[in-house]
Amino acid sequence: MFKSLLVLTFIPMALCAVGGLVGRTQSAGVRGILHCNGKPERNVLVKLYDDDRGIDMDDLMGETKTDANGHFEVSGSNAEFTTIDPKINIYHDCNDGWKPCQRRVTIMVPDGYITDGPRAKKFYDAGTIELAGKFSGETRDCVIYFVLLVALVPCALCAVGGLVGRTQSAGVRGTLTCNGKPAKGVLVKLYDDDRGLDMDDLMAEGRTDTQGRFELSGSIAEVTPIDPKLNIYHDCEDGFWPCQRKISVMLPDGYINEGSRVHKFYEAGTIELAELFLQFTNIMATALIHAMLLIMVVHTALCAFGGLVGRTQSAGVRGILLCNGRPEPNVLVKLYDDDRGLDFDDLMAEGRSDSNGRFELSGNNAEVTPIDPKLNIYHDCNDGWWPCQRKISIMIPDSYITVGPRPKEFYDAGTIELSGKYKGETLKLKINLVMNRILLLLSLVPFAFGAFGGLVGRTQSAGATGILLCNGQPATDVLVKMYDDDRGMDLDDFMGETTTDSEGRFEVSGTNAEMSPIDPKINIYHDCEDGWWPCQRKISIMIPDEYITVGTRPKQFYDAGTIELAGEYAGEERDCIH
């Protein structure tokens, strides 16, 4: 068995060596133009390979970089028994942000451009390629190696980040109170959250002063942007529970500074430690979870029984809401009696914050057992395009519950800064139950989401233009369709279609209503260099987000460039029904 494996290991290498000695020399050449958002992309690396189809390593035939006008020309030769399979790999950073490694586009060169001999007689013109869009089958050149490194040496990555990464800093300040009084001597730490890949990196630590105030800042070197978070360790309203309560607050990316000094501090506001921060959730998910609980008739009946024979209890809460340091008006706040998942929470009161961000709520409920009052805050601070609203839930301490219809003492929730992301207290947090329910609902009703989005989502549009060629000639009457890619949740939403004119030009646009941002893409269906193969070749190109318009007409069209269809793009498919 071992000998067989050894032979199989060495055969491909031996064949390659022999092929190099006795195979016939073949060559190929490619030229083209690369653009990024309509402008020439200079200094982009382009490599020409003979694709060995996984038998062994691809053979490098030549490489070059684009000039100031985005032009490139690369050629090379290789000796093989069989016909070579030339391809070009384009490595670029267009519209890539902070992501590691580089984007890679692979295009197979048609066999008709292969020449016998060491010099290419005929160059394949790849056209003008717009790199901003994402081609189906596009990859990252170092993903495999990156995953391997993360799996084997996460600590080594940290060390390397410290050596070669750029120094970044963050700072946070705020005030901590416990039942309305300054919480002094509370330990606070500033970390760079490494998302579970390795231990979080400590950036700074300190304790609150006699007024409950704290200020922390620190820096760290990372290859990627840091994820600063504040951890607060305290014993407020903790009784005899072991260890300490911990609150984690993620700092918004806008407060990350380049360099070792902090230029802008994140104001965490006045945080009342007596309250129990549950978690950010999503109104949609919460409503769906509660809908599933309708089948629990027995528990609902028990609740009704409590309303008949229970004692009336009340609670009240007040506070101030800020968004990036400014009063956040008109924020919806609701006071509930939390029924711990047995049935629907009981609404006790609701209201909205005023022009100064202030709110005050009170209400009552009849229960056999003590009520569990909580405050829900629904807001859009630092929420961008995310659907629905962010929700913070704060449990009110039992000591603020009053027997009777009117609260004798209001709970002061303090000044709450909404821009930060509260990860939730680690004590008494039932994350797994919530996540399991959400996953169950997502598996059952993906089509319902699509239908609902069409009813209540905002109308968004996109458009694309370009030129299609086949072996350098205009590709006429080629079908081009635009879709909103639903990422496998349900069928992609059709937005529009067209066919190319006599010069190979196309222009297509369309609209779709979605709660979240649409993901527009164009599909190109063609028969260039396809011979007798059934169905049609299909190329898909994702349109960058910045070309999405809110409304029924796109304000800016994405220029896909001049696309040569003769070559085979990595990830290309066949489509028989379209």
Encode pLDDT of 28-41 as tens digits: 999 999 999 889 99
Quickly tell me which residue has 């000044």 as its tokens.
415
Give me Rg for the CA atoms of the chain.
31
Grade residue 341 by pLDDT with cuts at 50, 70 and 90.
low
C-alpha angle with apex 87: 84 to 92, nearest 5 degrees?
Answer: 160
pLDDT at 299: 47
Tell me the per-residue pLDDT of 67-124, one tens digit each, with 9 for 90 and over: 999 999 999 999 998 999 999 999 999 988 888 889 999 999 999 999 999 999 999 9
| One-character DSSP codes across 417-440 | ESSSEE---STT--HHHHHHHHHH
Among candidates 112, 26, 34, which has minimal Cα distance to 75? 26
Q: How crowded is the C-beta side of 356, counted as CA atoms within 13 Å?
A: 7
Q: Are 466 and 503 in contact (CB under 8 A)?
A: no
Three-state SS for 238? coil
> Which H or E element spans position 159?
helix 154-164
Task: Give the residue, 313 or 283, on which the prediction is more confident.
Answer: 313
pLDDT higher than 90, residue 16: no
> Which H or E element spans position 464?
strand 458-470
pLDDT at 33: 94
Sign of CA dihedral 11, 16, 21, 23: positive
pLDDT at 442: 53
Show the tokens assigned to 238: 């903790």
Cα torsion at 65, 71, 76, 82 (round to 10°)? 110
Extended strands (E) in 5-133: 24-36, 39-40, 45-50, 59-65, 71-80, 86-92, 103-108, 115-116, 123-130
Tell me the per-residue pLDDT of 478-512, one tens digit each, with 9 for 90 and over: 999 999 998 766 788 999 999 999 999 999 999 99
Q: Where exactly does CATH 2.60.40.3330 map onto the chain?
A: 12-146, 164-444, 452-575
Task: Give the residue, 165 or 449, on which the prediction is more confident.
Answer: 165
What CATH number was assigned to the domain covering residues 12-146?
2.60.40.3330
Q: Are 201 and 191 in contact (CB under 8 A)?
A: yes
Distance, in Å, from the CA atom of 475 to the CA atom of 527, rounded to the nearest integer, reads 10
Distance, in Å, from the CA atom of 195 to the CA atom of 423, rounded to the nearest integer, reads 12
Three-state SS for 156? helix
Give the whole-number percent of the chain exceeding pLDDT 90: 50
Q: Are 64 and 91 in contact (CB under 8 A)?
A: no
Average pLDDT of 282-310? 46
Grade residue 54 by pLDDT with cuts at 50, 70 and 90.
low
pLDDT at 314: 95
Distance, in Å, from the CA atom of 328 to the CA atom of 419, rounded to the nearest integer, reads 11
Distance, in Å, from the CA atom of 549 to the CA atom of 567, rounded to the nearest integer, reads 32
Average pLDDT of 243-268? 89
Give the whole-number percent of the chain exceeding pLDDT 70: 78
Show the tokens assigned to 541: 């190109």
Show the tokens assigned to 295: 């089948």
Task: Give the residue, 211 or 284, on which the prediction is more confident.
Answer: 211
What CATH number was assigned to the domain covering residues 164-444?
2.60.40.3330
Grade residue 15 by pLDDT with cuts at 50, 70 and 90.
low
Distance, in Å, from the CA atom of 271 to the CA atom of 275, rounded to the nearest integer, reads 9
- Answer whether CATH 2.60.40.3330 is correct for domain 452-575: yes
pLDDT at 432: 40
Q: Which residues contact 222 (CB under 8 A, 6 or more apart)?
A: 161, 165, 166, 168, 192
pLDDT at 422: 67
Grade residue 196 by pLDDT with cuts at 50, 70 and 90.
low
| One-character DSSP codes across 275-313 | SEE---EEHHHHHHHHHHGGG-HHHHHHHHHHHHHSEEE
Quickly tell me which residue has 């009336």 as its tokens.
312
Q: Which of 292-296, 410-414, 451-455, 550-554 has the highest mean pLDDT?
A: 550-554
Distance, in Å, from the CA atom of 99 to the CA atom of 178, rounded to the nearest integer, reads 42
Strand 266-272, strand 166-178: pairing: parallel
Task: Give the residue, 159 or 325, on which the prediction is more confident.
Answer: 325
Show the tokens assigned to 231: 């951890």
Among candidates 86, 87, 82, 66, which has minimal Cα distance to 137? 87
C-alpha angle with apex 189: 183 to 190, nearest 5 degrees?
Answer: 130
Tell me the per-residue pLDDT of 125-170, one tens digit each, with 9 for 90 and over: 999 999 988 887 888 877 444 555 555 555 555 555 555 678 999 9
Range of lowest pLDDT (176-185, 369-378, 445-454, 519-528): 445-454
Q: Which residues contact 458 (CB under 8 A, 6 or more apart)?
A: 513, 514, 515, 550
pLDDT at 202: 93
Task: Give the residue, 571 or 161, on which the prediction is more confident.
Answer: 571
Tell me the per-residue pLDDT of 394-428, one tens digit each, with 9 for 90 and over: 888 888 999 999 999 999 888 888 877 765 443 33
Average pLDDT of 3-22? 50
| One-character DSSP codes across 310-331 | SEEEEEEEEEEEEETTEE-TT-
Strand 115-116, strand 24-36: pairing: antiparallel
Distance, in Å, from the CA atom of 429 to the CA atom of 306, rounded to the nearest integer, reads 26
